[in-house]
């Protein structure tokens, strides 16, 4: 799905700002048709933001069910005879949208965009009312899954993942216009052949016309052109996109009729290759080592709402510490994040929101349930998961920063049922995008020899907490056990990325003898892990869990959230940040000076 852009033939208008807002736990709005007039009450909520932490009220934070957002927008007078589109970058976890009295869109899944052609309901120059109902309920048939239970205090959401179930309009909302005949989609796959770059492109259009494309370098100079809706552009003396240097070309796509330009769209293109060969992960034919983090979209007050200040700050902290990469744990991040990664040469493991397909962890709420069954994660869930994969690939396949798809985090993967569930999803991902490897983050309950899903993956991705959940406080035993476990995985002959390792740490807690929860212990755990990784050549990446402390639901093993951040929630470094910086920046220097 194309991101809205201003071009010579297109215009967009962000609808961000304060919207009217109403909680509706009883679901009255759908029967009372609240979209037909102003929402009841006087609440307002910012877009983009989660609504949970805005109001000093436990009922707001723990709200379950519908909330309503509403705004009025004037359609620019100049948009006469044009196609008018309303786009939501995300509504967590599902939404229905009305323009005036007309229902225009419905979408399942909290982290991918959706849009509606509203031309019939919004005339140029008119003011229209936009209303969205957003539902945060998780069920066995949602991704991520959850279950609602009746409790003495009312209905409660149980989920099987370790982050707060923030909800609302987390990303921008746009009104944009295109010509009636327009470019509807563009796909690029890039290649390198010696000093020559290759850009295979495919353009989809709505309406009649011819397609022509021109590729321009970062200085705007034309380097290749072609006619036709698909083809291959050759770029002599190519300047590849590479880790640490996000060099981008622009693919200018034009739809023409009788020689005149009907629609124009420009797509940034980074020319690079990705390949798994033996135990190596190659970018542009050169071995790549992932350093960095599993992260979250999580900040005080705004929750999972996208924020450009935190975007820049988080990337600059990653650069400061020497991180080359990150994983969008545990859901697709805002498109602004991927665009920034493209421009600045960060490498991304792009993950679906399939987190918690696992009832094996009692502490996370799974007790008493079977993961895969007719009544729990079933064929319908798999179809929702498949759709989440389709939408992720459709949104992100043109980003050079994205080098690996992660189709799930820590699912139950040691059973026959898991194998049957995942096999078609791996096949689907490869069919949608044959150009990138596919994996999933494996957890400790599915160790080597027992996991039935890892053999479907191109890259082994391991989440392991030796020294924290395992061998707590005994790093010598942890090191011994971890090395043995990792060597077993290395025997599979695939590259291994450690997608999670770390320890909860309260900033400011110190001890001469490193004890769990202290800053010294976090550093010691990371250093123990690094000694293990450095002895196993198949390890091609290390992502610490987590970049920053983040909010979770209540729990006896969480103190004001998950504290495994190398930075606090307000982005102050813990001692481990300096240890990582020493390790990662020296390896970065080695790569750059090689
Ligand atoms: C995991 C999960 C992650 C948790 C983390 C932890 O394995 O993938 O979502 O937050 O462990 O800290 O327990």
pLDDT-based confidence at 367, cuts 50/70/90? confident
Alpha-carbon span 518 to 578, nearest angstrom: 15
Question: Tens digit of pLDDT for each residue in 391-401?
Answer: 999 999 999 99
Question: Tens digit of pLDDT for each residue in 480-524?
Answer: 999 999 999 999 999 999 999 999 999 999 999 999 999 999 999
Which H helix or E strand runs over 539?
A: strand 539-545
Active site residue 410: yes
Which of 410, 412, 519, 542 is labelled catalytic? 410
Please give the structure tokens belonging to residue 129.
Answer: 């009312």
If one residue of 161, 462, 464, 500 were mutated to test the ligand 1 pocket, choosing by the most ligand atoms within 8 A of its CB, it would be: 500
φ, ψ for residue 537, nearest 5 deg: -60, -25
If one residue of 294, 410, 505, 516 were mutated to test the ligand 1 pocket, choosing by the most ligand atoms within 8 A of its CB, it would be: 410
CA-closest candidate to residue 387, choices 107, 65, 163: 107
Alpha-carbon span 344 to 349, nearest angstrom: 15
DSSP at 572: P
Q: Which residue owns the Cα nearest ligand 1 atom 2? A: 162
The β-bridge relationship of strands 402-409 and 438-442 is parallel
Question: Tens digit of pLDDT for each residue in 266-292?
Answer: 999 999 999 999 999 999 999 999 999
In three-state secondary structure terms, 302 is coil
DSSP at 374: T
Mean pLDDT of all residues in 161-171: 97
Which of 254, 351, 391, 500 is labelled catalytic? 500
Q: Quick check: pTM over 0.85?
A: yes
Active site residue 455: no
Q: If you measure from the C-alpha of residue 511 to the centroid of ligand 1, how many angstroms do you get, rounded to a whole number? A: 25
CA-closest candidate to residue 409, choices 292, 495, 499, 482: 499
Neighbours of 190 (CB within 10 A): 24
Q: Which residue owns the Cα nearest ligand 1 atom 9? A: 162
Residue 594 has pLDDT above 60, yes or no: no
Long-range contact pairs involving 464-470 (C-beta distance under 8 Å, separation at least 24) = 464/498, 464/500, 464/501, 465/500, 465/501, 465/502, 465/503, 466/501, 466/525, 466/528, 466/529, 466/532, 467/503, 467/524, 467/525, 467/528, 467/529, 468/502, 468/503, 468/504, 468/516, 468/525, 469/444, 470/444
């Amino acid at each position: 799905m194309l991101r809205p852009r201003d071009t010579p033939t297109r215009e967009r208008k962000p609808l961000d700002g304060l919207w009217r807002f109403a909680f509706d736990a009883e679901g009255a709005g759908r029967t009372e048709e609240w979209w037909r007039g102003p929402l009841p009450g006087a609440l307002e909520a910012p877009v983009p933001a989660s609504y949970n932490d805005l109001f000093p009220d436990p009922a707001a934070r723990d709200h379950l069910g519908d909330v309503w957002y509403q705004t009025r927008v004037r359609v620019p007078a100049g948009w006469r005879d044009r196609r008018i589109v309303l786009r939501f970058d995300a509504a967590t976890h599902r939404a229905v949208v009305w323009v005036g009295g007309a229902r225009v869109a419905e979408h399942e899944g909290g982290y991918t965009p959706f849009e509606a052609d509203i031309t019939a309901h919004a005339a140029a120059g008119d003011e229209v009312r936009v209303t969205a109902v957003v539902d945060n309920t998780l069920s066995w048939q949602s991704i991520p899954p959850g279950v609602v239970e009746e409790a003495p205090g009312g209905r409660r959401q149980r989920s099987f993942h370790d982050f707060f179930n923030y909800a609302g309009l987390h990303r921008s909302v746009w009104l944009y216009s295109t010509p009636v005949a327009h470019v509807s989609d563009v796909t690029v796959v890039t290649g390198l052949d010696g000093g020559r770059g290759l850009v295979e492109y495919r353009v989809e259009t709505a309406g009649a016309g011819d397609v022509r494309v021109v590729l321009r370098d970062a200085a705007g100079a034309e380097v290749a052109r072609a006619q036709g809706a698909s083809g291959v552009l050759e770029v002599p003396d190519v300047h590849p996109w590479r880790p640490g240097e996000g060099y981008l070309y622009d693919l200018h796509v034009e739809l023409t009729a009788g020689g005149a330009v009907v629609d124009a769209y420009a797509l940034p293109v980074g020319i690079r290759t990705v390949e798994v060969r033996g135990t190596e992960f190659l970018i542009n034919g050169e071995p790549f080592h992932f350093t960095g983090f599993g992260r979250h979209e999580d900040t005080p007050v705004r929750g999972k709402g996208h924020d450009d200040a935190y975007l820049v700050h988080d990337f600059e902290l990653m650069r400061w510490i020497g991180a080359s990469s990150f994983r969008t744990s545990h859901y697709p991040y805002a498109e602004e994040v991927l665009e920034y990664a493209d421009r600045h040469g960060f490498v991304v493991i792009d993950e679906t929101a399939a987190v918690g397909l696992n009832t094996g962890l009692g502490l996370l709420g799974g007790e008493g349930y079977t993961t895969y069954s007719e009544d729990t994660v079933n064929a319908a869930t798999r179809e929702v998961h498949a759709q989440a994969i389709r939408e992720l690939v459709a949104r992100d396949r043109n980003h050079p920063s994205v080098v690996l798809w992660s189709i799930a985090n820590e699912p139950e993967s040691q059973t026959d049922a898991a194998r049957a569930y995942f096999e078609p999803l791996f096949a689907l991902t490869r069919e949608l995008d044959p150009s990138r490897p596919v994996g999933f983050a494996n957890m400790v309950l599915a160790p080597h020899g027992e996991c039935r899903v890892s053999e479907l993956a191109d890259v082994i991705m391991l989440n392991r907490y030796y020294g924290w959940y395992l061998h707590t406080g005994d790093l010598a035993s942890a090191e011994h056990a971890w090395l043995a476990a990792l060597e077993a995985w290395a025997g599979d002959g695939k590259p291994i990325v450690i997608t999670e390792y770390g320890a909860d740490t309260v900033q400011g807690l110190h001890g001469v003898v490193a004890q769990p929860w202290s800053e010294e212990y976090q550093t010691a755990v990371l250093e123990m892990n690094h000694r293990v990784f450095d002895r196993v050549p198949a390890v091609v990446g290390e992502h610490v869990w987590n970049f920053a402390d983040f909010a979770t639901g209540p729990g006896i093993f969480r103190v004001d959230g998950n504290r495994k951040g190398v930075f606090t929630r307000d982005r102050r470094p813990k001692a481990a940040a300096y240890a990582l910086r020493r390790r990662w920046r020296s390896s970065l220097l080695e790569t750059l000076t090689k």
